[in-house]
């Protein structure tokens, strides 16, 4: 999930996602193309008479560029990138170069439609027509503001995870999703595992009773993680913090949610419910020189309405046991729901052991990447004018993730009702200019505020 330019201050880099479309820039635009919907006959009742869905990219990092790659690779009908926006000119330039080289016939973004600055999103969205699509792939602090403008302009949207850093921003996303639904706008959200055919097959097995009642889910993402050094000056501290999204809570939820929201979503999908409460333990690596706002371990126990549990564990320390997977335990047997770096490692076992000699069922191999499938489905919904809005589910997953994080940061049991009632925001106003001060300040040692249980507030 990492992008090297966003981790420039790290001494240890996180595990790379070799199959992820979010890695578009780092891998020179290589990605598996193809579509289960290739050859489908589609309606022309969308995006103008020329039968082309036009795209504006807002946020030109690896995730945004990867999303464009999937949109332009889709075989559901013609697509074209016509505008780009980013706060950083260098990031936009890299993205434009990579995309235009791979999709020379589908990238039509002359210099006058490449916008830089905090207001660039408006200019890019203004280039679209009703029926076109905005890709919102900046850091999540800006997600509600940019999504709001797209809804006002009547354009469809694809919004990336995470969806807001805090409960207040998440509730704005929920409200905007309802407005989009009333306007018949189509909105896709970047939780691609929901579009995995292998996982969908296991979900159906679970719903059919193959595993009995689900009693426990275990989700892990444990790897070396990353560390941030102090701000050295010589540039805008605001811009520097924006380039370090995994290290600041206000920018993009910081490390835990950026890395674990998919696993949290898997837990809720398996249970087909939202947890009623969360509690947990966390801490920092001993003698760490990390200057970020992150804890280095998160262990969360979610409780669902029927009393069953999901255990979500994140550890970011080197020379330790690594794990990246989700497991399910039912009254009849156990199963693996996902594997390393979101791989579709899906299998049912004959007993409670997750072991090769216990496997009794596997799904067919996936024919289409979930990253591609989510775009094929969104574009098909636009072309057919079918209802398509993933906002509520994505926002509730975001809120669930924040609930677990808040339980550890505050040292309390946090309830779902508390989350729904909270309007807390780390940064109430993101209407920045180039001269705006940074939202959080370091202490004399260059360290930024780290959550202290019993004192910290984020709901």
pLDDT of 272-283, one tens digit each?
A: 999 999 999 999
CA 31 vs CA 24, 28, 160, 196, 372: distances in Å = 7, 9, 18, 16, 9
**What's 293's domain CATH number?**
3.30.360.10
Rounded-to-integer distance, Cα 187 and Cα 158, Å: 6
- Quick check: 271 pLDDT over 90? yes
Question: Got the DSSP string for 87-114?
Answer: S-HHHHHHHHHHHHHH-TTTB---GGGE
The reply to whether 83 and 211 lie within a common domain is no
DSSP SS3 for 208: coil
The average pLDDT across 233-248 equals: 97
Give pLDDT, residue 50: 76
Peptide bond into 162 cis (omega under 30): yes
| CA angle, 241 then 246 then 248, to 5° | 50
- Quick check: 5 pLDDT over 70? no
- Quick check: 413 pLDDT over 50? yes
**What's 47's domain CATH number?**
3.40.50.720
What range does the domain containing 91 cover?
4-193+371-389
The reply to whether 327 and 407 lie within a common domain is yes
How many CB atoms lie under 10 A from the CB of residue 259? 24
The reply to whether 268 and 157 lie within a common domain is no
Q: What angle do helix axes 370-384 and 62-73 make, rounded to 10 degrees?
A: 60
Rounded-to-integer distance, Cα 271 and Cα 215, Å: 9
Rounded-to-integer distance, Cα 300 and Cα 283, Å: 12
The reply to whether 346 and 416 lie within a common domain is yes
The reply to whether 226 and 337 lie within a common domain is yes
In a domain, 318, yes or no: yes
- Looking at the chain, the whole-number percentage of residues with pLDDT higher than 90 is 89
The reply to whether 249 and 101 lie within a common domain is no
The reply to whether 181 and 292 lie within a common domain is no
- Quick check: 267 pLDDT over 80? yes
The reply to whether 187 and 224 lie within a common domain is no
In this prediction the pTM is: 0.91
Q: Specify the number of domains making up the chain.
A: 2
Count of CA atoms in the C-beta half-sphere (13 A) of 88: 19
309 confidence band (pLDDT: 50, 70, 90):
very high
The reply to whether 159 and 204 lie within a common domain is no
The average pLDDT across 443-453 equals: 97
- Quick check: 14 pLDDT over 80? no
Strands (DSSP E) contained in 160-308 are: 187-189, 214-223, 277-283, 297-303
Give pLDDT, residue 27: 52
The average pLDDT across 353-379 equals: 97
The average pLDDT across 139-151 equals: 98
């Amino acid at each position: 999930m990492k992008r090297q330019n966003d981790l420039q201050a790290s001494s240890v880099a996180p595990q790379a996602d070799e199959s992820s479309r979010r890695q578009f820039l780092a891998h020179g635009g290589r990605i598996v193309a193809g579509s289960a919907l290739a050859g489908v006959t589609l309606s022309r009742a969308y995006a103008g008479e020329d039968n082309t869905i036009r795209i504006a990219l807002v946020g030109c990092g690896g995730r945004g560029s990867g999303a464009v790659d999937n949109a332009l690779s889709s075989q559901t009908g013609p697509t074209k990138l016509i505008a780009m926006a980013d706060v950083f000119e260098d990031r936009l330039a890299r993205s434009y170069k990579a995309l235009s080289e791979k999709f020379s016939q589908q990238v039509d973004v002359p210099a006058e439609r490449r916008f830089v600055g905090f207001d660039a999103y408006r200019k890019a969205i203004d280039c679209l027509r009703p029926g076109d699509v905005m890709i919102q792939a900046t850091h999540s602090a800006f997600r509600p503001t940019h999504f709001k403008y797209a809804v006002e302009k009547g354009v469809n949207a694809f919004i990336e995870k995470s969806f807001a850093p805090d409960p207040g921003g998440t509730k704005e996303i929920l409200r905007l999703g309802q407005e989009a639904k009333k306007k018949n706008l189509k909105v896709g959200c970047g939780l691609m595992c929901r579009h995995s055919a292998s996982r969908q097959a296991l979900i159906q097995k679970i719903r059919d009773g193959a595993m009995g009642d689900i009693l426990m889910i275990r989700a892990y993402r444990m790897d070396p993680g990353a560390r941030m050094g102090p701000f050295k000056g010589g540039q805008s501290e605001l811009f520097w913090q924006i380039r370090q999204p995994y290290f600041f809570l206000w920018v993009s939820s910081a490390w835990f949610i950026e890395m674990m929201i998919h696993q949290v979503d898997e837990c809720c999908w398996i249970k087909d419910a939202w947890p009623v409460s969360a509690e947990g333990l966390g801490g920092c690596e001993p003698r760490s020189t990390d200057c970020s706002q992150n804890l280095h371990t998160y262990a969360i126990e979610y409780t669902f309405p029927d009393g069953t549990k999901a255990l979500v564990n994140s550890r970011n320390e080197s020379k330790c046991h690594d794990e990246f997977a989700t497991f399910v335990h039912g009254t009849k047997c156990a199963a693996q729901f996902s594997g390393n770096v979101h791989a579709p490692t899906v299998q049912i076992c004959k007993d409670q052991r997750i072991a090769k000699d216990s496997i009794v069922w596997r799904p067919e191999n996936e024919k289409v990447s979930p990253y591609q499938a989510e775009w094929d489905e969104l574009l098909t919904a636009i072309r057919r004018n079918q209802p398509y809005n993933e906002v509520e589910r994505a926002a509730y997953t975001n809120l669930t993730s924040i609930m677990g994080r808040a339980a550890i940061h505050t040292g309390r049991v946090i309830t779902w009702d508390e989350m729904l009632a909270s309007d807390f925001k780390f940064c109430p106003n993101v209407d920045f200019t180039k001269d705006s001060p940074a939202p959080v300040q370091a202490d004399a040692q260059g360290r930024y505020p780290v959550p202290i249980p019993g004192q910290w507030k984020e709901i």
